[in-house]
Amino acid sequence: MHIVIIGAGQVGSFIARNLCIEHDIIVIERDKETAEKLRESHDVIVMEGNGEDISVLKEAQIEKADILLAVSGDDRTNIMASFYSASLGIQKIIVRVRNPNYLGYPKLLKDTNISVVHPWAIMSEKITSLIGSPFAWKTETLAMGKIKMFKLKVEDNAPIVGKTLANLGPPKSWIFVAVSKDGNITIPTGETKLESGDYVFALGVPDILNKLKELFDVHEEEIKSAVVVGGGRLGRGAAKILSKNNISTKLIESNPERARKAAEDLDHVLVFKGDATDAETLKEAGIESADYFIALTGDDENNVLSALLARNLGAKRTTLIYTKPDYIDVIEAIGVDRAISVRLSVANEILSLLHIHGVAHVALVEEGRAEVLEFDIKSETKILGTPLKDVHFPSGSIVGIVLRGEEVIIPRGDYVAALGDRVIIFTLPEAVKKVEMILGQ
């Protein structure tokens, strides 16, 4: 496929790297340094120029493109490029729009070839999901909400420490599909032994969390108070959600104008103007007795430092957002409870909309160290009618769950793929191609 990507920032470069092996990628980036960085690191054609400039788009052979991904940091550029591409008849156009005021453009809403990705809405859903599942380190919604993936930490006192997965008995509505030790993700077997400090990835119906709490011997205390850092849309939205759930909520914002706006918008939230990396500011906001701390600024360093300080001062749970991929290992090492990658969240949404190789949905895990792929079994699917034991999936992959209508199936060797099944696979990067060859169209 010929794919044109506008914007080589965190999201654009990440998607380009994931697609460049199998597709003809041209990236348009106006910043010289950013363009050069991507050009040097991957086999991608990078053009320096403005993505809304028609002459630049023509030079990128936009008229031959199968897909346009307009994901630059400038909404106007993304929207104008998508309108021009739509006029050429490009069949698949995905445009990232940050400012909700632009979402009212009739052409964006009515053109069936244009899919709009709104980062704020994506991140709001992620944060809401984590707030509702405080035991989980990460959550991912799959199969149109019918299945969830949880990343869970094995603590010192967990009754499953030292046990093999076979000791836990056959799974019914959930399954452990991966184990992460020191940042290294592996596909487990029945003989895999869980140790303190491991992270496990579980797939299952949304209410499996209660069963997993028993396995991990977790006794959650009710969240009564929370401190939010960041007075932007995301921070205000999280504060509003917490407040609506009768949680005493305080918000810290260093910018005077944003602090004022937050105070005006949030009726039942106490707003503090100050620096969340300052211990006195956090203490003034009541961090020493806070059940929940969540850092939602646009500055990774600020989020990490404030979360670490909040934890040391007594906050029971800490959550933050980040954009730089290298931060994931640092965040786990310093003991922050939960982290949400802005880049990965937006990229997952975009990749899922592409439907390449018959993939109905895709979720990249741990900055691309693993993937969750969803496939719908169709009449042309190669394994239709074949028992799973005869399919020979590659090592480094596991068929986690199958949805057959409303029925949830944990597939074993005698599972036979039927028309209409949705198959959910957890796979390491080296096995993705073979999995797509088996299940794709």
Contacts of 376 (CB under 8 A, 6+ apart): 358, 360, 420, 421, 422, 423
Predicted confidence at residue 56, as pLDDT, reads 96
Residue type, 153: K
The two domains 225-344 and 354-439 share their CATH topology (first three levels equal): no
Contact, 295 vs 226, CB < 8 A? no
CA distance 3 to 16: 9
CATH class of 225-344: alpha beta
Domain boundaries, the chain: 2-117, 225-344, 354-439
The pair of structure tokens assigned to 99 is: 């400012």
| Cα first-last separation, the chain | 15
Contacts of 318 (CB under 8 A, 6+ apart): 293, 294, 295, 307, 308, 310, 311, 336, 337, 338
Angle, helices 10-19/342-354, rounded to nearest 10 degrees: 50
Predicted confidence at residue 309, as pLDDT, reads 97
Contacts of 170 (CB under 8 A, 6+ apart): 410
344: left (phi over 0), alpha (psi -120 to 50) or beta: alpha
Per-residue pLDDT of the chain in tens (441 residues, 90 and over written 9): 999 999 999 899 989 988 887 889 999 999 999 999 999 888 789 999 999 999 999 999 999 999 999 999 999 999 999 999 999 999 999 999 998 888 877 667 677 789 999 998 899 888 888 877 777 888 888 988 899 999 988 988 889 999 999 888 777 788 999 999 988 999 999 999 999 999 999 999 888 877 888 888 877 778 899 999 999 999 999 999 999 989 999 999 999 999 999 999 999 999 999 999 999 999 999 999 999 999 999 999 999 999 999 999 999 999 999 988 888 878 878 888 888 999 889 998 998 888 777 788 888 888 889 999 999 999 999 999 999 999 999 999 999 999 999 899 999 999 999 999 999 999 999 999 899 999 976
What secondary structure letter does DSSP report for 166? G
CA distance 165 to 410: 15
CA distance 374 to 351: 12
Burial class (CB in 10 A: 0-12, 13-18, 19+), 267: exposed
Which of 333, 275, 334 has its CA nearest to residue 306?
275
In this prediction the pTM is 0.81
Predicted confidence at residue 109, as pLDDT, reads 65
CA distance 439 to 375: 7
CA distance 425 to 350: 19
Which of 328, 245, 313, 247 has its CA nearest to residue 280?
313
Strands 317-322 and 338-341: parallel
Q: For 232, phi and psi rounded to 5 degrees?
A: -75, -170
283: enclosing H helix or E strand: helix 279-284
Fold entry, domain 354-439: Alpha-Beta Plaits (3.30.70)
In 396-435, DSSP assigns E strands to 397-404, 407-409, 422-427
The pair of structure tokens assigned to 144 is: 């149109």
CA distance 433 to 419: 22
CATH class of 2-117: alpha beta
DSSP-based three-state secondary structure for 375: strand
The pair of structure tokens assigned to 77 is: 């550029």
- Per this entry, what is the length of the chain? 441
